[in-house]
């Protein structure tokens, strides 16, 4: 699948933003994070900024961005529509949570409840994002049980790392809880991603060129003549080849920069120089997750490429 930059930035940036929102929405009412209003201001601006940047980026790959509002209408059947509804709905409790925390200096009672509701909204939105990919039967490398939990865990890991960084920058009070979550979610997502890669490498083909053409009864099938001389939309969008060539190197890079380095730095932060270590950890994870997300798209193969010469998908 063609890795559109807008979708890569959207899923990584808003994933981290929603993860941070989940941490803030639960951590502040339960006093697991600093509750002073300046912490609230910087945390929520960062979370909502990443979310909004991501959502705006996602509209750049649309043919008609001015019609994007229409995507709210089909939540009964479409996970993309549900994602849009959940994303917009989350702004309501998140906005009230912001008002309560920053302007009124309160994270208890009603205002705390708004925090919890924004956390739920963030979780549900990322769930829907994962579901968009996980429900596409034509793309077996997405249509499996790993896609949704990995989206969720990576969102939580990157959001918790940002929450830890903020807590460290604000003097280190309330650092334990977000850092603990960052480490747990970080290791869990690393293990899941490693398991996912080994799973897709061993995955049995779902369809073959024989079943796609129905010609298997006559023997082994191969494409001898494409329908046209130039690559078409389908081949450019769904027959992306670049990453497959380098996928092993890129996976190693994602392991190193997206998981090993940031998690090692997060452990360093437990003992010394937390702000500096977590800043480096967040930067590394951001770079690593861009590689991971790029691979997620580029390594995925689509059954329609069976009509363009691929033997099995």
Partner 1 sequence: MTSLPKTPPAKRLGLVIDLDTCVGCHACAVNCKEWNTGGYPAPLSDPDPYGAAPEGVWLNRIHGFEATPESGDGRTVHFPKSCLHCQDAPCVTVCPTGASYKREEDGIVLVREDLCIGCKLCSWACPYGAREYDGMTGVMKKCTLCIDRIYNDNLDEVDRVPACVSTCPASARHFGDFNDPDSNVSRLTAEREGMDLMPELGCQPTNKYLPPRPRRTESATAELPTAEGGFLGWVDKLLSR
- Binding status of residue 241 toward partner 1 by CB under 8 A: no
Compute how many other C-beta atoms are within 10 angstroms of the C-beta atom of residue 40: 24
Position among 204, 224, 241, 272 found at the interface with partner 1 (CB under 8 A)? 224
Stretch that binds partner 1, among 119-127, 225-233, 262-270, 274-282 (CB under 8 A): 225-233
The DSSP code for 135 is: T
Q: How far is the CB of 186 from partner 1 (least distance, A)?
A: 30
Position among 99, 171, 237, 242 found at the interface with partner 1 (CB under 8 A)? 237
Q: How far is the CB of 162 from partner 1 (least distance, A)?
A: 28
Gap between the Cα atoms of 166 and 49, Å rounded:
15
Position among 219, 241, 271, 272 found at the interface with partner 1 (CB under 8 A)? 219
Longest alpha-carbon distance in the chain? 75
For partner 1, the binding residues in 266-295 under the rule CB under 8 A are: none
Of the two residues 79 and 123, which places its CB atom closer to partner 1 in the complex? 79
Q: How far is the CB of 183 from partner 1 (least distance, A)?
A: 35
Position among 23, 168, 304, 310 found at the interface with partner 1 (CB under 8 A)? 304
Query: Which value, to the nearest 10 degrees, does the dihedral of the CA atoms of residues 185, 176, 49, 146 take?
Result: 10
- Binding status of residue 56 toward partner 1 by CB under 8 A: no
C-beta of residue 151 within 8 angstroms of C-beta of residue 7: no
- Binding status of residue 11 toward partner 1 by CB under 8 A: no
The residue count for binding partner 1 (CB under 8 A) is 62
For partner 1, the binding residues in 146-205 under the rule CB under 8 A are: none
Of the two residues 176 and 213, which places its CB atom closer to partner 1 in the complex? 213
Taken in order 299, 303, 305, 310, is the CA torsion positive or negative?
A: positive
In angstroms, the first-to-last Cα distance of the chain is 12
Q: How many CA atoms lie within 13 A of 38 on its CB side?
A: 4
Please identify which residue in the block is written with the tokens 């991971």: 292
Position among 88, 223, 268, 283 found at the interface with partner 1 (CB under 8 A)? 223
Give Rg (Cα) of the chain. Answer: 21
Q: How far is the CB of 309 from partner 1 (least distance, A)?
A: 9
Gap between the Cα atoms of 181 and 186, Å rounded:
8
Position among 228, 241, 271, 272 found at the interface with partner 1 (CB under 8 A)? 228
Of the two residues 71 and 156, which places its CB atom closer to partner 1 in the complex? 71
Position among 31, 49, 60, 65 found at the interface with partner 1 (CB under 8 A)? 65
Q: Is 5 helix (H, G, I), strand (E, B) or coil?
A: helix
Position among 118, 301, 302, 310 found at the interface with partner 1 (CB under 8 A)? 302
Q: Is 16 helix (H, G, I), strand (E, B) or coil?
A: helix
Gap between the Cα atoms of 298 and 238, Å rounded:
9
- Binding status of residue 137 toward partner 1 by CB under 8 A: yes
Strand-pairing partners, residue 208, are: 312
Which residue in 152, 239, 223, 140 sits closest to 189, CA to CA? Answer: 152
Chain positions contacting partner 1, by CB under 8 A = 1, 61-65, 67-68, 70-74, 76-81, 84, 132, 135-139, 206-207, 209, 211-234, 237-238, 302-308
């Amino acid at each position: 699948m063609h890795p559109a930059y807008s979708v890569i930035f959207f899923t990584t940036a808003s994933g981290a933003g929603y993860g941070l929102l989940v941490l803030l929405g639960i951590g502040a009412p339960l006093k697991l994070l600093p509750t002073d209003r300046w912490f609230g201001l910087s945390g929520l601006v960062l979370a909502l900024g990443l979310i909004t940047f991501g959502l705006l980026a996602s509209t750049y790959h649309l043919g008609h961005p001015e019609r994007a509002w229409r995507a709210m209408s089909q939540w009964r059947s479409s996970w993309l529509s549900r994602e849009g509804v959940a994303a917009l709905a989350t702004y309501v409790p998140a906005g009230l949570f912001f008002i309560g925390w920053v302007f009124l200096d309160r994270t208890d009672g009603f205002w705390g409840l708004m925090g919890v509701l924004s956390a739920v909204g963030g979780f549900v939105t990322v769930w829907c994002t994962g579901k968009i990919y996980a429900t596409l039967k034509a793309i077996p490398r997405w249509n499996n049980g790993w896609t949704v939990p990995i989206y969720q865990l990576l969102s939580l890991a990157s959001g918790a790392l940002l929450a830890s960084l903020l807590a460290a920058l604000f003097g280190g009070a309330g650092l334990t809880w977000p850092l603990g979550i960052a480490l747990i979610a970080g290791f869990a997502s690393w293990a899941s991603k490693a398991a996912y890669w080994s799973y897709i490498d061993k995955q049995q083909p779902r369809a073959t060129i024989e079943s796609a053409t129905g010609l298997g009864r006559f023997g082994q099938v191969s494409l001898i003549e494409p329908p046209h001389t130039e690559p078409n939309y389908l081949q450019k969008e769904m027959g992306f080849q670049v990453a497959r060539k380098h996928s092993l190197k890129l996976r190693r890079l994602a392991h190193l920069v997206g998981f090993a380095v940031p998690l090692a730095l997060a452990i360093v932060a437990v003992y010394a120089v937390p702000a500096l270590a977590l800043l480096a950890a967040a930067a590394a994870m951001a770079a690593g997750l861009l590689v991971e997300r790029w691979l997620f798209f580029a390594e995925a193969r689509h059954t329609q490429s069976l009509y363009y010469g691929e033997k099995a998908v």
